[in-house]
Structure 1
Amino acid sequence: MPASRTPSTSAKILYRPVGIVSSIVGGLVASMLFKQIWKRVSAGDDADPPGPLQSEYPFKEIVLAAVLQGAIYSVVKTVIQRQGAKGFERATGEWPGS
């Protein structure tokens, strides 16, 4: 990590509210994105993704939905956290991460 990106304790503390809000927004964005993608890739008429306890869906479809959802959440979370940290650094001159 470059010396300019060494986090200070105050930057970590000040970034916490930003991180919490960005996590909430990221979760909402990921959820909406997953639902839209699932509507396009699902074979059935039901646009809602299957849950793990829904016996009317084959196991393969439930696992596929879980893998897709996990990948989308991970990518959205990474993008939002990274861009939030960059924005915080531009605003304060300090990198908030560890």
Structure 2
Amino acid sequence: MSRVVSRGLSAASGMLGGALAGAIFKQVWKLASGKEEAPQATSEEYGWREVLVAAAVQGAIFGMVKAAIDRSAAQSIHRATGK
């Protein structure tokens, strides 16, 4: 039963983390570029450099948020179960 609960919490934290990372990226991009929306890879109005920089920043933010959530969950589980 605890495995089912753990997977459910993992899925929920993943969705929450994705939404949080998306919101953080949007604000960072707005501050860095002065534009509301980040460039899409398929958009012809942006060059390679801007598209790749946006992707790198987005990936770094998503990775950081995921690591923070995973680490927090692991510590919480350890405190609750002692394992």
Give TM-score scaled by structure 1 length: 0.77
Higher-helix-fraction structure: 2
5+ long unaligned stretches in structure 1: 1-9
What's the Cα RMSD here? 1.5
Give the superposition deviation at 1:14: 3.6
* 1-structure distance, mates of 2:37, 2:32: 11
Which one-letter code corresponds to 1:50 in the other structure? P
Structure 2: gaps spanning 5 or more residues: none
Q: Give the partner amino acid of 1:80.
A: I
Could you say what secondary structure the match of 1:82 adopts?
Answer: helix
Counterpart residue number, 2:78: 89
Q: Supply the AA of the counterpart residue of 1:39.
A: K
TM-score calculated relative to the size of structure 2: 0.90
Task: Give the CA deviation at 1:12.
Answer: 4.4
Q: Give the Cα–Cα distance (whole angstroms) in 2 for the partners of residues 33 and 47 of structure 1.
A: 13
What is the percent sequence identity of the aligned residues?
A: 36
Which residue is equivalent to 2:45? Answer: 56
Residue in structure 2 matched with residue 18 of structure 1 by the alignment: 9
